[in-house]
């Protein structure tokens, strides 16, 4: 397996119904993570970029949240319709001279 240069972590943290909001389960992050992975695969970015679910990223309200590392670029409050534009932004960050 090739080690990716960049990882997009998508919060998939789960908390009980009686706990404070969790950006993972409260906002359908598992499905969003899958959509982001599919977009990466379709663009052929997989060797350079990995999308993975993560535990709590520390920003629980206004989610879902994702962070691109090592660039430390954050994405918040997105939905399925935003996944393509998120990967556009990620692609521009990891390959600033590429035509998106």
Q: Which residue has the higher pLDDT, 63 or 85?
A: 85
What CA–CA distance (Å, rounded) separates 6 from 95? 11
Residue 12 and residue 72 in contact, taking contact as beta carbons nearer than 8 Å: no
Cα 99 to Cα 22, 68, 79, 95: the distances in Å are: 36, 19, 24, 9
Give the pLDDT of residue 65.
92
| pTM score, whole prediction | 0.86
SS3 78: coil
* Domains with residue ranges and CATH for the chain: 6-94 (3.40.30.10)
Return the sign of the alpha-carbon dihedral for residues 62, 72, 38, 13.
Answer: negative
Is the pLDDT at 17 greater than 70? The verdict is no
């Amino acid at each position: 397996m090739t080690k990716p240069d960049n990882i997009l972590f998508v919060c998939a943290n789960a908390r009980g119904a009686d706990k404070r909001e969790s950006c993972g389960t409260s906002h359908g992050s598992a499905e969003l993570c899958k959509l982001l992975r599919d977009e990466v695969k379709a663009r052929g970015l997989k060797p350079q970029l990995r999308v993975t679910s993560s535990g709590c990223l520390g920003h629980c309200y206004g989610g879902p949240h994702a962070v691109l590392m090592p660039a430390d670029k954050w994405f918040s409050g997105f939905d399925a319709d935003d996944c393509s534009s998120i990967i556009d932004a990620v692609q521009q960050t990891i390959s600033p001279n590429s035509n998106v």
